[in-house]
Structure 1
Amino acid sequence: MLIYNVFGRHLAVKKTSGGWQVFRADLAERKFSRLYDIIIPDEMTEDEIPGWLGDIFHEAASERHPDVRRVE
């Protein structure tokens, strides 16, 4: 599972045989809740995911959280 800090919010992304799945990530308790309203195209590569998440959530950018970074 790939875990990203998306402008201060932790999201996890997992590749499955059915495509990419996105989860809200609670890193303190290692709990993940599936998010069905965030779609990542099947043909997208792992390296393209931070840019995609940045495009979707760019309104959440702040001085404190200016970017999307992989944390795990």
Structure 2
Amino acid sequence: MLIYNVFGRYLGVKKTPEGWQVFRAEMTERKFSRLYDIIIPDDMTEAEIPGWLGDIFHESATELHPDVWRIE
């Protein structure tokens, strides 16, 4: 699973035969809950995902958390 810090919120992204799946990630206990309302296009590459998440969640950007980046 790919783990991203999305403006201070942790999201997991996993490629499956059905396409990309997105999860809310609780990193302390490594628990993941599937999020069905966030869609990543099937043809999107791994390198494009941070930009896509940044576009979706840009309203969540703050001075303390201004970016999206992969942490795992």
> TM-score scaled by structure 2?
0.99
Aligned residue runs from structure 1 range 1-72, under 5 A: 1-72=1-72
Structure 1, unpaired ranges of 5+: none
- Using the aligned pairs only, state the percent identity: 81
Once superposed, what is the RMSD of the aligned Cα atoms? 0.2
> What secondary structure, in the 3-state scheme, does the structure 2 residue paired with 1:65 have?
coil
Q: By how many angstroms is 1:67 displaced?
A: 0.4
| Cα deviation 1:43-64 (Å, max 9, x = unaligned) | 0000000000000000000000
> What secondary structure, in the 3-state scheme, does the structure 1 residue paired with 2:65 have?
coil
Structure 2, unpaired ranges of 5+: none
Once superposed, which parts of structure 1, at least 4 consecutive aligned residues long, lie more than 6 Å away?
none
